C-alpha cells in the first residue's frame, strides 16, 4: 500500500524510533504517546483492520501478541503490567488503517469499562 503511513515506516521511507523487528512484525515508539511507554506493533504485511483479516492472517496477527510479550519484557513492563489495545475503524479510534497493537505501560493505567 503506497499511501499507508505504517507501510512507509516499515519500509524506512518515514523515520521511526524502532524497538523491535523480526520476520513478521515491526515495533516503534508512538509519536504522540498516551503513556510513558507507548509502542505500536505492526505486521509487515498490510492488513487494513481486524475486519479485513482472513483466516490466513491468524498466525500473523497472533504473532503480534508474541512480539508484544517480548517487547514488554525488554521495556521492563512485564512485572508491573501493560495494556494492549487494537482499535478497529473510526468509531473505535483507528486513524491508520494498517492493523496494529498499542502497547501501553510505565504507569498505573486507568480502568476501562
Q: Which residue has the cell 517487547?
A: 71
**What is the rounded distance in angstroms from the CA atom of residue 97 to the CA atom of residue 86?**
11
Given the residues 38, 46, 100, 102, the one annotated as active site? 100
46 in catalytic set = no
**What is the rounded distance in angstroms from the CA atom of residue 112 to the CA atom of residue 72?**
20
Contact 107, 101 (CB under 8 A): no
Q: What residues act catalytically? A: 100
Amino acid at each position: 500500500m503506497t499511501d499507508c503511513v505504517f507501510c512507509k515506516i516499515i519500509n524506512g521511507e518515514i523515520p521511526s524510533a524502532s524497538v523491535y523487528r523480526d520476520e513478521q512484525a515491526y515495533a516503534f515508539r508512538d509519536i504522540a504517546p498516551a503513556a510513558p511507554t507507548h509502542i505500536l506493533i505492526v505486521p509487515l504485511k498490510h492488513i487494513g483492520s481486524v475486519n479485513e483479516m482472513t483466516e490466513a492472517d491468524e498466525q500473523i496477527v497472533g504473532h503480534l501478541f508474541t512480539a508484544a510479550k517480548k517487547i514488554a519484557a525488554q521495556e521492563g513492563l512485564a512485572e508491573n503490567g501493560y495494556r494492549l489495545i487494537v482499535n478497529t475503524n473510526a468509531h473505535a479510534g483507528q486513524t491508520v488503517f494498517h492493523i496494529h497493537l498499542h502497547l501501553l505501560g510505565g504507569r498505573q493505567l486507568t480502568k476501562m469499562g
